[in-house]
Amino acid sequence: MKTIGDFQKAYADGRNLEEVMRGVWEAIRDEPDDGIFISKTSWETVKRRVDEIEGKDLPLYGIPYVAKDNIDVAGLPTTAACPDFSHDPAESATVVNLLDDAGAICFGKTNLDQFATGLVGVRTPYPAPKNPFDEAYLPGGSSCGSAVAVAKGLVVFSLGTDTAGSGRVPAAFNELIGLKPTLGNISTRGVVDACKTLDCVSVFALSCNDADAVLKIAGKYDPEEAWSRKPPAKWKRFPEKVRFGVPRAEDLMFFGWDEAAGLFADAVEKFKELGGEPMEISLEPFLAAAKLLYEGPWVTERYVGIRELLETKPDSIFPVTRAIIEAGKHPLASDFFTARYKLAECKRLADIVMAKVHFILAPTTPRNFTVKEVEAEPVKLNSVLGTYTNFMNLLDYSALALPAGRYQGKLPWSVTVFADAWMDRALLELGGKYEQAISRDVPAVSADGFDEIHVVVCGAHLQGMALNWQLTDRGGRLVSSGKTLSCYRMYLVPAGGGLPQRPALVRVAEEEGIAIETEIWALSTAAFGDFVSKIPSPLGIGKVLMEDGKSVPGFIAEPIAAVGARDISEFGGWRGWVAAMGHNANE
């Protein structure tokens, strides 16, 4: 069992919670890769959690997960992969409490690049976790243990953190979904600071649906955390037809993995198949922002986070990590403001690009390297890995890493879709469609919680008809086709006032009506309001009774529309009338 659905089905089929959790615990206990975990939850603790939740109706009931060891979990030490930093937290991080309250069970703390500084996964004084696909290559960092634990099927999902790419690069190297939410969406209270202003908690999973299920629990405003932000009451989603940005050729860099260009081209084609229109864009302002993260004074944030340890026990810090963070001691306040002004300009230019598209598609990381290659050039090659990840939090975007095939058929490679802040769930829904397009056997992301209103159309607004553009131009999305209950008649409204001839759906007694062909479209709340404000008399919006028993807002007409009008009900709907009359649907 690897997904939330697998576990839920097992419980629905009568599997005992304790028995299932015992199997998970034993698999983790017996896992031969001793680099994945820094600490593991005891069976006594797991059993206590089983007793607490057994029989309760909880959204993540009995779902096993692990947390990166810079996230506090009560009962387990927090080390941030530095033994001298180790301490026992008095309480769990906010995100852990939310997941536990939802019924999930934490099975341990995972290894990381020390103090979450690095994208390689081997900057740790503990044994480094092994890449499940080829042990010679990097597992990806800094959330290396969290990613490998999910890739090996030990748990369903895991928590990482992502400041510069630590929740996406490991996803890429382990063929996982890597969600980097909007900054402040998931509370960082109880998370060891890397760069406090840029840190976020990330999610690793095997499907977008699972990552979405976790986000819906974990993405809550935390009034006790200064960096927490209130998520939207209703989430935006992408329209049926989208325009997506594709980096121009000079912005695509693979650093020796030239064959990955073909994998990227394949991903572009998949998004085109999903209704996307690619648009070439320049990544110049994004890449310029990325350079600020490690070449600018934001390294000082890392220094501030562990200054006391650096000054009192410098030898306890991993050598490469210490060299990077110690550089943060030197920048002046003037350096920060200079960099902040440059970032503001990068943000202005990047937002101009983003405004032209719904999202941007880019490589998650150019390539993977062997452990030996990184040992020889630890800083330079780490920087290569962050080419397309370092700018994301600086520019306040949401991002999602998605599997995109294997380099030379062996090593996982990945693409990232990213968009404005608070498009997290829209990206997950899009990612779920992409997963199905590449034949991953996963369920679609649930539509609950999105900002949309369903509207029934029955005439010129049907797909392919003359006024359908009024829906699509407002971002409308076709939900389904169906029929009304047999309590309606359809009448013909003649052309006039600049409008084509169109039908009027009128409610009648059930014994006098028939079922009429319709479509249900989804619009955002704002788009729906704008749409209905322009409906001409005698048409209007009311509740339409559908054959499946639902009552949905849709086009209905005042009874006066039937006076002297031709009854075209016998044709079963507007399409039937148009076909019978030989009309052009666009007339």
**Residues annotated as part of the active site:** 68, 142, 166
Place of tokens 């099927």: 153
Residue with tokens 């609950």: 448
Using a 10 angstrom Cβ sphere, with 0-12 exposed, 13-18 middle and 19 or more buried, the burial of residue 482 is middle
Answer yes or no: are the C-beta atoms of 578 and 585 closer than 8 Å: yes
In DSSP terms, which residues pair with 362 in a beta bridge? 416
Name the burial class of residue 542, with classes exposed (0-12), middle (13-18) and buried (19+) by CB atoms within 10 angstroms of its CB.
middle
Strands 517-523 and 539-545: unpaired
As a whole number of angstroms, the distance between CA 123 and CA 317 comes to 10
Is the separation of the CB atoms in 246 and 280 below 8 Å? Answer: yes
Q: Which element (helix H / strand E) includes 246?
A: strand 242-247
How many other C-beta atoms can be found within 10 angstroms of the C-beta atom of residue 141? Answer: 32
DSSP state of 87: B
- Using an 8 Å Cβ cutoff, are 63 and 157 in contact? yes
- Gyration radius (Cα) of the chain, Å: 27
First to last CA, the chain: 54
C-alpha–C-alpha distance, residues 422 and 220, integer Å: 13
Using CA atoms, how far apart are residues 585 and 587, in angstroms rounded to an integer? 6
Please, is 369 exposed, middle or buried when counting C-beta atoms within 10 Å of its C-beta (0-12, 13-18, 19+)? buried
Cα–Cα dist 323/61, whole Å: 44
Handedness of CA 345, 297, 389, 378 (dihedral sign): positive
Give the three-state DSSP class for 212.
Answer: helix
CA distance 423 to 249: 26
In DSSP terms, 453 is beta-bridged to 523
